Structure 1
Amino acid sequence: MKTVALTIDRLIVPASLENADAADFRAYGDLNRLICDEAVGIPDLAPDAAQMLPDWQDDTDSIDLGFVARLEGRIVGMVTMAFAQETDAHAAEVDLLVPAEHWGRGVEQALMERAEEEARARGRSVVQIWSLHRPEEAERMLVPRTGWGRIPAIPLSDLLESRGFVLEQVERNSEFDLRGDAEPQRKALADALAFAGSDYRVVEWMMPTPPELREGFAAVLARLSTDAPSGDMDFAAEHWDADRVVRREARLTAAGQAVSVVAVRHEPTGELVAYNELLIAADRSGVTHQFGTLVSKDHRGHRLGTIVKCANLLRWRELMPLSAVVSTFNAEENRPMLSINEAIGFVPVSYAGAWQKKI
């Protein structure tokens, strides 16, 4: 009987998707969407190859690499890794992409072995990975160490548990219908602005961020890595300055994506203390993704989260009238932000599990 060997090679990062060596990276984009479709029926959770390529080409702030598994020349899975470049970063972030038709043939085990080997070789002591789950009950439900939320066991979670990963956190993926009645957001915004008072002023722009706002925006972006609830996930505090803001926005807008930012400035200090980002791909009729949203710890309790979310959603309806839905992820223990989402009209559509293993 003929034995077919599994081969695992580095994913080539092409200079352009039109290049002769870009086939695997284009396949990566397709596979990413297929995995999201199989897992939760929402392929648009995943960016396509064109959206991901600029980030992979710039290693300044995070190094991305991937491995491609093949059987008889056919791609049967991939694993990708991201290494934050902060000097005190301990973790390697992993994404395992093995479609259902190839699961259970040893592909997933081989790719995870390769990822953990690479993490060790690069001096990382922690491996992190996320799993996607449908909003349904199952015979075995998993509860994270935070105690907030629960997800149904799936083959990926079984694999991770068998390899010593711990479920640290559950995130809720919610969607908002942009074609519904906007009056509830208008009222919520008006009420929140009145509650916050004159010390807080709304500032809004489309990326790229104006030069005079970059340092202030860098400061509030840095807080996302420290102020956002993350359970016991090992995330290094990110270091931001105006140059890093410019690099990030060049990556985000390189593939024709558009990003609207609504922030709140604290007038007595001049600091930006809250922000919300909405992003859409070059296809302006597609799904909108809510990226970062944060209210600085020192300024919570003034309804600033409601202000930035509602103001950006209302602004987005005018900027991108063809987009029908906004998708966002929030930690289940982040009850203040989830309460805002629920009041605005977001509804849960899937969940994600955040897993971690010390190596």
Structure 2
Amino acid sequence: MPIEILRVDPSDDRAVDAWWDAYAAAKRADMGENALIWSRGEARAELQQASAVTERRAYVASHDGAVLGSGSLALPLKDNRHSGMVGVTVPVEHRRRGVGSALLAHIEAEALAAGRRTLRAETAWPASAPADGAGEPGREFARRHGYELAVGDLQNRLTLPVDQLLIDTMLAEAPADGYRIRSWVGAVPQQFVAEWAALDALLDTEAPTGDLDIEASSADVADYRADEALQARQGRTSYGTVALAPDGRIAAYTQIVVSGDDGNAYQWGTLVRREDRGHRLGLRVKLENLRMLQRHSPETPRIYTYNAESNTHMLAVNVRLGFETTGRLGELQKRTPSR
């Protein structure tokens, strides 16, 4: 069966819709009700964003005008320029026909042409499956094409609201003596944005990274503001909390983002500066942020988060709050020969 790989024009709504339909169908087939899918509008806004940080490309595999699968490539432009993030999704009815392999070969060739020697990808599988993903479609496809598991994450879900008494009890265990807590809804206040962006940029390397070949992201305030503008176009609402050290600098931060489409909340970054660790600040800011979310958005039904399986401390906190494991995520990596 001849398969044609086409680059998607982000301004072509019909092309983007066909690309997204294949992506969403494949995700739902693999994860069922626990599939975490960017909405059509969220994905469209990201593809259309003119970014100075990441070049994003989308592709479809087509036969006789019918879309059989979708793919993506994200190329960092300021840091990690040795790497590229690839994605391949094929609905069940089109699998085992060479569609995924054709898509991946095309995307890898484009990444190599852009000078990327390390390729990263992600694949998810249900919590009921083997911990290493053995036998799961995405994991086996990646294995066949040379992608190795670099970090194993747990996908966890918390049904809201959390009882205020439990939050208060856990807050009493993290008094944050000497530190002040500040919280807000929406964009990061101007007086905090530079430090916030710097902490957020460190997250990829300060969190458990396993064997991932990555470096810290850039911390440009203008780039961070551009990301906030994208979130606004996507209809997302951000909830942020920081702990301030006695000298006024940010010692810890955390962020939850609520989707305007599916209504769910997603835990994004949480990080404590190295020099401020040991005071349970991470727990404090997460609890304060959760309390604020429940106060300002009582209709939000649940929070989803990913944690590295090696991050036993945070997983223990999640268990106390009532999170349940709903799936696993493999962060994959493939190193290619230098050109």
Q: Partner residue of 2:9?
A: 12
Q: Partner residue of 1:126?
A: 118
CA contact (8 A) 2:257 2:265 kept: yes
Change (3 A) 1:24 1:71: same
Calculate the aligned-residue CA RMSD, in Å.
1.7
Change (3 A) 1:31 1:179: farther
Find the partner of 1:162 among 139, 144, 154: 144
Q: Partner residue of 1:274?
A: 252
Q: Partner residue of 1:296?
A: 273
1:207 aligns with 2:198: no
Give the CA deviation at 1:317: 1.0
Within 1, Cα distance between the matches of 2:13 and 2:50?
17
Q: Partner residue of 2:216?
A: 237
Q: Output the amino acid matched with 2:211.
A: D
Change (3 A) 1:43 1:8: farther
Give the CA deviation at 1:88: 4.5
Query: What is the percent sequence identity of the aligned residues?
Result: 27
Change (3 A) 1:243 1:358: same
Change (3 A) 1:68 1:330: same
Within 2, Cα distance between the matches of 1:333 and 1:29?
33
CA contact (8 A) 2:46 2:230 kept: yes
CA contact (8 A) 2:19 2:59 kept: no
Give the CA deviation at 1:205: 1.4
Change (3 A) 1:32 1:137: closer
1:323 aligns with 2:300: yes
Give the CA deviation at 1:296: 2.3
TM-score using structure 1 length: 0.88
Give the CA deviation at 1:59: 2.4
Q: Output the amino acid matched with 2:161.
A: R
User: Which range moves more in the overlay, 24-33 or 169-178?
Assistant: 24-33
Q: Partner residue of 2:94?
A: 102
Within 1, Cα distance between the matches of 2:301 and 2:229?
26
SS of corresponding position for 1:119: helix
TM-score using structure 2 length: 0.93
> Any idea what the Cα deviations from partners look like across 1:61-117, whole Å, max 9, x if unmatched?
111101111122111101101111124521111111111111100001001101110
1:342 aligns with 2:319: yes
Find the partner of 1:50 among 24, 33, 41: 41
Structure 2 unaligned segments of length 5 or more: list them: none
Within 2, Cα distance between the matches of 1:292 and 1:326?
13
Q: Partner residue of 1:147?
A: none
Q: Output the amino acid matched with 2:284.
A: I
Within 2, Cα distance between the matches of 1:295 and 1:181?
26
Structure 1 unaligned segments of length 5 or more: list them: 15-20, 143-150
Q: Partner residue of 2:65?
A: 73
Give the CA deviation at 1:332: 0.8
SS of corresponding position for 1:25: helix
Give the CA deviation at 1:181: 2.2
SS of corresponding position for 1:211: coil
SS of corresponding position for 1:12: coil
